[in-house]
Each structure stands twice: as structure tokens, then as C-alpha cells.
Amino acid sequence: MPQSENKSLAEARELIQKLRQIDAVQAPPTLLSSCMERIGPGDSYAILETPIGVLFVAYNDVGISAVMQAQDAAEFERTFRARFQRPIRAKSALPESLARPLVEQLSGKSSPELHFDLRNVSEFERAVLLKALEIPRGEVRPYNWIAREIGRPKAVRAVGTALGSNPIPVLIPCHRVVRSDGQIGEYIFGSSNKRTLLNVEGADPELLERLGRSGVRFLGDTSDHSFCLPTCNGMHHRADGHIVRFHSDQEALSAGFRPCNACRPVAVS
């Protein structure tokens, strides 16, 4: 959004706040939306077919601002306005410049750069969401991996909370974050949809949970003596005789294996 529009929006909010402070004058609930409609175009939205069904995708000049499930457009619009305090209008379809990269990303054909509007999240939440974006398709990372990676190793619970309020799920892949014991964990759209997304991407959540139940936390490669998180570069699918299982990073290090530079497995310990 141009600086001039930001300034106008701030002035509109300040005016409304002053009106609400005057006992004799009560600003109607629709005043803010009306002001914003005059100031700028706000957000638009259309539906998107995904492996977990139809989702509503909102976008603006900054980028994609929301991805939600809803029974219908009216419910989506109410939820969006309540959360973001911005107007939203329907479009018949996503613009081609946005629809094509979204389809390519969801199909796994490519990893186009997408722009996101994260102005409504805190600095900590932004760090968590941007770190989740680094997890490759077909791979998962534990919650405490993200906490360590962003320099907040004790904030595991807060990481879970931030992912649970992710405004742009599926596209910012919080479904690729699981529990440290290998169990899939919760998801904003439900654990069943989380499993569906992970299966579509090749992460094989059932296999990960079997490894987790047996206490396996890392996989080592005897060909180069590195050890990784199970899904790193598809390690969990390899059956070439070079894979060994470890229950802890200390066990792997004691066996002479070095941590993988890609998935940085020691960050989870």
C-alpha cells in the first residue's frame, strides 16, 4: 500500500477513535469500513481448489492476506472483516498472475515466489511463519526446531500458538511442522487435512509416526556419515542399505556421524 494510503488510513482510524470518545456521538460499526472503501480498494478474494477442498484466498497490493475455510462466501467475509478490520470484496476468479503460481505450488511442479501480507501479525509470529516457509515440500520439522532456528529455544509453546493462528495456512506451510516425537500434531484445518497435505507432498505421516513410536528421531547415511531429520531429502523413503537409525543426536554424534547442513538436526535437541 502506498505511503499516502497508509497515512490516510491512520487518519481515518484516529478520527473514528475521537468520535467514539465523545459521549454524544456514537460512530456506527460500519463507519471504519466505509472510510476504508473510500480510501482504497481493500482486499479481494476468490476460491481456490486444493487437495483439502475449496479454500477462500484473499489478496491485496501487498500480497496474499488470508486463506480460510468457510461454508460460504458470506461466512468468509464476516470472518475476514472481524479478524482484519478491512473491507473485502468477491472476485469471480483469482487473477492469472496469482492463480498460476498457486496452482504450480500446490501441484509441486515448481516453487514460485509468493508475496504475503503479514502486517497483522507480531514480530515473533512473522519470524515463525517465515521459518515455516523454509521447510521444503515433502519434509517436516518439529516445533522446537523452529523455536531454535529463530533464536527462541524455550518458546516452543508460543511457536505452536503462532502456527495455530497462521493467517495463510497451506501456502505458508504450517502443516509441515510436527511434534518432536514424530506424531503429526494439531492443525488449523484439522489433523485429517494435515495428513492429506503431507501425503500429497510425499512426507508419509504414517511412516513418520511409526518411526516416532519406535523412538527413532534421526536417520544417518553411512555413505557420507551425516545424520538428518527423517524426512530430509526423502531419507525416510530410502531402502539402499546405507540408512541407520538413531534415537538422539548424541547417539549419532557418538557413532561418528556429523549433522546435516540442510536440515540442521541438532537444533531439535
Q: Which residues are catalytic?
A: 174
The distance between the two most distant Cα atoms of the chain, rounded to a whole number of Å, is 79
Q: Strands of 43-50's sheet, edge to edge? A: 64-68, 53-59, 43-50, 88-90
What's the CA gap between 185 and 174, in Å, rounded?
A: 11
**Placement of cell 461466512 in the chain:** 75
Grid cell 501480507 is found at: 117
Give me the helices (H) in 21-138, please. Answer: 31-39, 73-84, 96-107, 123-132
Burial of 214 (0-12, 13-18, 19+ CB in 10 A): exposed
Cβ contact 7:13 at 8 Å: no
